[in-house]
A and B are shown apart, each in its own frame.
Chain A
């Protein structure tokens, strides 16, 4: 395959960003929106072409004779040379997970582009202020995210990592007149920046020992006879491990340096993927327009952390403790977010916590993946769940956007009983709920089931824990579903028309995503994506025991939700009053935000910054001023000697002459 198509895939969204950013405001709204959507459509088609060529063409650079999927560097251009061996390059790396991500990103992004044509205008068809800017930022985001997933080296990933962070900042703060949106965007950027600090230091450590940023040199070995083609090779990772252990200081504060490097890199992933304790920015990020939440904060950017761990998976395999940390962080986050999601009122926040919980599922799956357990089933399951989750979560967010668009509020208390008025939204949302709850045959069932199988083969505790979270997932999703679409509908005030379904630009993406959510589970994912490129027959490992248990848990949870929430009744209030503190703590998200506020505002801002500023003005600058004042005073003291009085000068002359004479005499004696 020629490298022209990869270049276009990256360059076109960048061009659209610059073009719409500079000229957008001079265009008519629909023109800008149409151009943005068209540009992305082209990118989507090219990405599909690339992915299909990669998976199905059988070309020797993509698949070996033995059926092993290979990694192909389509192009690689040096961008910044640090030393003779260490340099950043910008390139295009095609392997199973990047090809899959190309499909995910461009599909969801295209749906969001299309959807926003309808969403970003009000009921009278008037476009939002900054409509063109919105499309420019969407293009910037798509460019950055594509650049991130096709990175050939970890520093390229870091570069685009920062760029997606900024696009996210700009899009969360899209409604910049709203103070809450401004502070949410700021929070998102600073929290992820803090995590990126860890990522950066991790990269520095890794590159110092290994002398490279290249993924191919970290995890793969070249295929003989072809340039730019590699395959995953555990020996390379073992070589890296021995590089670390043979250095004079292999252990630092009780952990090996490689563990430190990997955990610090994982910290970057925790920030972007909103893992506890760096999750606090994601719920607030819902201040952005809903299509943005669907694209960035559900389907693509927030899974970057998972993608990062998957990318370096052979290295993580070298350090058991790093994978254990990934598992523990993921398991705790999954449970925490699921509990919180049960108590939120804002529908976007429910979905946000659900996203956190589902990404944590993927993290756990990576954490429990081992070659000795079903040939790293967890890795494949994680990527599969990433794929299906992107589709059904984008669907749910876009559905929520349709509801918010129709009702004008984010709270379910303002909704109720909408299934009659908005049938398309209702049915697609229901499909999304069934998919995420893990009901057969929707896509979530398959991917989640594989994650649970992977957990089960690793440890029973993790398996039970994650099954519990899966049950909670089904419960809170159906709680949300019933509260929105069932219950008695609100009376429509006189002069207002009833809520109704949206224009086709918004409905079409919902229908397409719902269709994908129905059938995506049947994709033979193991044949396409696995940790070392060797095809993996999932059906051979399919565990009906696990599947029936998880199905039973999901059905039970949905049944419970039906009993509690199908109609207005006293049960929820009883539960709430039985455990008032738990409910309050969960509703207030276990006070994480307050804790951070305390640390940042009270301790760092008031305690450190103000103290330093005071120190600077009064001590440092005070010393400088004191020098000036002393000089001034000294001149005041000496000044009277130049009084201009002849008598005074005479006296001084006489005294001086006598002194000098006296000294001379003393010396002569």
Chain B
């Protein structure tokens, strides 16, 4: 079992949990969190390098004629867990999962530094690490059942993390967030069980394994029509799809810093990843036929979230609505069923994960000093805490799509892909829905600029609003570590997008597109 490198993505957090249990003081807890998250970063880097090596080795083999094609996933392995129901612990990764694993490990790292001085650290980190166990497990699984299990493991700790360590209306928010996401899970479970029972042709061996389901391609058309919306909505709730997004503003507003970071940065990606990997991979025909419904909903999300963010005055609400807009763009691009747009969607997940985590980290740091998140009660922070303010400006510029930072490349890939899909539809006489919504989504670049610059102008620039704020201090070293690590990643994606784009694009399963006749 331990010869498969992927399993360590679950083992490291579990070891961290055990070590946390033994910790006696805050220093040990911090050490465990930092060493563990560094280990995760190292592990994901190793996996990335090995993955690239293996891919090129297989390419060479194909050229030499000793292999026929690239497998969809590498590092695959299966261990039987509960044979009567065919439940396995099946793992495997492709470029997309690796990108997500890297994202998660960096955000766990930054999040650990952002919760350096949290109260009741032991319990907090226990729940936080348990949450990340679920996240990592989800991204390495290819078995729908274990995937779902890890998904739930990632969701439940959120209730306690917000309920105990949160602020404001924390009980209401924790309950709302958990119940709405559980509601989504109910749909999802229905969808997954449905998929399982149609996973093999008549008389075949039923399976939970994603790759086998895709190969079998046995889900009857009628069932797809029913199961696709179930699965898509189930994951879509976590992806903050309109109208199931309202948990996000309240939940993020009440959550402590690291939890907001992890939740917006990684957990919301579970939604997008699931929509892509499960709903669209397994049921391409239904995705093709029903995508219009969800295109409308996600297209609305994109502009609706941005417009709402324009009038909010609480920093976390602004950022939460901005997440609705950006995550809406992820789902929107996935539904374009176009390779370029889908690549853009995955890049947008990476980009949004990093910059929203950066935003929430900075908001937490500012809130920790001023004890308010109302932009009307603050002003002139650039004079008081220049380091944090500059970081905030960088995060803002990334969010509004400045070239050289991650937001731009992701959005442009999405727009180019979506526009091509939309025009192709339009010219083929399939209606102009995709085209119109692409243009609507493009408008978000203007609205995003409005709300970002509004916040930057009110919060950071101008005269100092409250004289009590003058005595506040700038970032501490652990806060600097947290923000710098995120900014470096944001800039890396923005400056060298082709590496990430190739990593992702390489692994698009041609089967999906051939089913649709799109390739």
Contacts and interface: CB of A to CB of B under 8 A. Distances in A.
B307 A608 contact: yes
Interface stretch (B78-86, B198-206, B456-464): B456-464
Contact of A204 (B243, B419, B463): B419
B463 A197 contact: no
A81 B311 CA distance: 37
A88 B496 CA distance: 12
A305 interface: no
Given A196-B445, A609-B307, 8 more contacts: A83-B340, A162-B401, A162-B408, A179-B462, A189-B449, A605-B310, A609-B308, A624-B180
Given A162-B401, A613-B308, A613-B312, A177 B497 contact: no
A249 B497 contact: no
A176 B392 CA distance: 15
A403 to B, nearest CB: 27
Interface in B448-480: 449-450, 453-454, 457, 460-463
B508 interface: no
Interface of B: 176, 179-180, 242-243, 245-247, 304, 307-308, 310-312, 339-340, 380, 382-383, 397, 400-404, 408-409, 412-413, 415-417, 419-420, 423, 426-427, 439, 442-443, 445-446, 449-450, 453-454, 457, 460-463, 497-498, 501-502, 505
Q: In this complex, which of B176, B179, B401, B419 has the most chain A Cβ atoms within 10 angstroms of its Cβ?
A: B419
Contact of A201 (B179, B439, B461): B439
Interface of A: 78-83, 86, 88, 155, 159-160, 162-163, 166, 169, 173, 176-179, 182-183, 185-186, 189-190, 193-194, 196-197, 200-201, 204-205, 207-208, 247-249, 605, 608-610, 612-613, 616, 620-621, 623-624, 628
15 contacts: A80-B409, A81-B498, A88-B412, A162-B408, A166-B397, A166-B402, A177-B461, A182-B461, A249-B427, A605-B311, A609-B307, A616-B308, A620-B243, A624-B246, A628-B176
Contacts of A186: 453-454, 457
Contact of A81 (B180, B312, B462, B501): B501
A200 B445 contact: yes
A79 B400 CA distance: 20
Q: Which 8 A-B pairs have the closest CB atoms?
A: A176-B461, A159-B403, A621-B246, A204-B419, A182-B461, A609-B310, A609-B311, A80-B497
A339 to B, nearest CB: 30
Contacts of A169: 453
Contacts of A82: 340, 413, 416-417
- Chain A interface helix/strand/loop/mixed: helix
B311 A86 contact: no
A610 B246 contact: no
B176 A624 contact: yes
A612 B397 contact: no
A179 B304 CA distance: 29
A278 B243 CA distance: 35
Contacts of B461: 173, 176-177, 182
B308 A176 contact: no
Contacts of B307: 608-609, 612-613
A193 B404 CA distance: 17
Contacts of B247: 624
A201 B416 CA distance: 9
Contacts of A182: 457, 461-462
Contact of B445 (A81, A155, A197): A197
Nearest to A160: B403
Contacts of B439: 201
Nearest to A194: B446
Contacts of A159: 403, 408
Given A82-B340, A86-B416, A613-B312, A183 B179 contact: no
